[in-house]
Amino acid sequence: MTKYTFEFKVKLVQEYWNGDVSYSDLMRKYNIPSMITIRKWVLQASVHGLSSLKAQHTKKVYSQDFKLFVVNYVKTHEVSQMAVAAHFGITFSRVNSWVNTFQKMGAAGLRKRPRGRPASMTKSTNKKLNPSAEEKYKEEILKLKAQLQETEMERDILKALAAMRHNQRKH
């Protein structure tokens, strides 16, 4: 069971959209522990509509390619992980987890994990995942895309600066 009902979430989002109250006002009024929760609901409803606030009771399994695509989106677009989560219709914690896993273990960490109980009862802590050639290739592509995005941004800043200096010299 979810902590907040669909109707309650819709009520809060609509109350915020009416412009009568702020996030902190809603937080105090309805005794919600964090403004972030309300902000997530508003952002999700803005991007995907009010129906997206319904609790989903099915476990969705995402492919490694999709996870890498989301991580790439986070790295190459200058938006928050919360905005990326709303954009793709997934939870913030899931996006955050994928980004952290990618940073620690690379593409191999985003593999689909085997289900069920392990065959042996041995304790294996901190298993080192060996990335396949394809995973290494995908990691390299993501790193290069992030570098390209950063370089393009630096270029645009330098162009704007040069244009400003040129305009100053004319005057």
Give the domain ranges of the chain. 6-53, 64-112+131-170
More confident residue, 120 or 158: 158
Residue 122 has a pLDDT of: 62
- pLDDT band of residue 95 (cuts 50, 70, 90) is very high
Check the CA dihedral 33-39-44-46 and report its sign: positive
pLDDT at 1 over 80: no
What is the C-alpha to C-alpha distance for residues 51 and 48, in angstroms, rounded to an integer? 8
Check the CA dihedral 41-81-85-18 and report its sign: positive
pLDDT at 135 over 80: yes
Residue with tokens 């370089």: 151
- For 9-66, the pLDDT digits (tens) are 999 999 899 887 888 989 988 898 888 888 888 988 888 888 888 877 667 888 888 9
State pTM to two decimals.
Answer: 0.57
What is the C-alpha to C-alpha distance for residues 52 and 133, in angstroms, rounded to an integer? 38
